[in-house]
Amino acid sequence: MPRQVTLYSRPGCCLCDDARAVLERVRAGTGFDLQERNIEDDERLLRAYLERIPVITIDGREAFELLVDEDALRAALGVALHGPEAGHGPQ
């Protein structure tokens, strides 16, 4: 069953753009479901996340805020850090 990853962000957020790029890179090799939520569309989300974005949840649990490390994301998703898809396969 694919993992559900949610990116809480807002337009014009450079850290959100960086997090999205990391998520897309990892998703290309793993196929998890990615949903993006604009916190400006929901007053509750805006209050909860305004000073913390980007916030990334995995299966509903907060996993990252502000910065997303690609290796840590792979580990949180249970994905091998150095598999053939990462370009580190057998030589």
Binning pLDDT at 50, 70 and 90, where does residue 82 land? very low
3-state secondary structure of 6: strand
The mean pLDDT value of the chain amounts to 87
Residue 22 vs residues 17, 37, 61: alpha-carbon distances, Å: 9, 16, 18
Cβ burial 26-45 (10 Å sphere, 16+ → b, else e): bbeebebebeebebeeeeeb
The Cα–Cα gap between 82 and 19 comes to 20
Q: Walk me through the domains of the chain, giving residue ranges and CATH numbers.
A: 4-84 (3.40.30.10)
pLDDT (average), residues 9-19: 97
